[in-house]
């Protein structure tokens, strides 16, 4: 069976200075690049996701337009398709990435499993086509999109490992809670990479 690396949402808007920048986001981008330089060949597939929201609507209520964002289900405008904020962080080397998944096109989307590749494949299909049974996850944000993607991978029957030095979250408390939830659900927390 095969192994996949999921790189979740390492985008300009989710790193320092972005619309929803998290502390440590740029370091995660650089850390994943260093990790890939040594470990890309360990994986059957390497997949990277991006939020890729519509710029002309509220994306199913995901963007707060009528009131202040609650930072739970409504957010400031971020990762609008075709903007600098939606692009990968410049410190993320994507040369080893074989599949690019876009999610949130007109709708709220947190999990990579809610997206599609440019060719229209779902993540479920990619895992099945490549015989993947283990998924390692890295990226942003621990307490939102990494969490949702990991839970969906577990639900898909994958052995899931969170590369904890290569994730960054919105807040320490919610990130710790997300990692505890994932461990309880069966994910392995890998402390050294």
Q: Which of 3, 9, 13, 136 is catalytic?
A: 9
Q: Which of 3, 51, 79, 103 is catalytic?
A: 103
53/106 Cα distance (integer angstroms): 6
DSSP string, 154-186: HHTT-EEEEEEEEEE-S-HHHHHHHHHHHHHHT
Q: Compute CA 138 distance to the chain's CA centroid, rounded to the nearest angstrom.
A: 7
145 is catalytic: yes
43: left (phi over 0), alpha (psi -120 to 50) or beta: beta
Q: 167 and 139 in contact (C-beta within 8 Å)?
A: yes
101 CB-near residues (< 8 Å, 6+ apart): 47, 48, 49, 50, 112, 115, 116, 117, 123
Residue 65 phi, psi (nearest 5): -120, -30
Q: Which one of 13, 136, 143, 145 is the catalytic residue?
A: 145
Which residues are catalytically annotated? Answer: 9, 103, 145
């Amino acid at each position: 069976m095969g192994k996949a690396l999921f790189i979740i949402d390492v985008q300009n808007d989710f790193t320092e200075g972005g619309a929803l920048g998290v502390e440590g986001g740029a370091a995660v981008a650089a850390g994943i690049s260093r990790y890939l330089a040594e470990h890309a060949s360990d994986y059957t597939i390497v997949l990277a996701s991006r939020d890729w929201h519509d710029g002309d609507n509220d994306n199913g209520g995901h963007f707060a337009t009528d009131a202040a964002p609650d930072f739970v289900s409504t957010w400031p405008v971020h990762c609008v398709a075709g903007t600098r904020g939606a692009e990968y962080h410049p410190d993320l080397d994507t040369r080893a990435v074989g599949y690019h998944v876009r999610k949130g096109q007109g709708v709220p989307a947190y999990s990579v499993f809610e997206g599609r590749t440019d060719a229209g494949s779902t993540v479920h299909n990619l895992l099945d086509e490549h015989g993947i049974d283990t998924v390692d996850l890295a990226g942003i944000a621990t307490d939102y999109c990494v969490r949702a993607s990991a839970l969906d991978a577990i639900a898909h029957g994958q052995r899931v490992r969170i590369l904890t030095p290569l994730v960054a979250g919105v807040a320490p408390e919610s990130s710790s809670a997300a990692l505890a939830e994932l461990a309880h659900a069966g994910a392995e927390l890998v402390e050294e990479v």
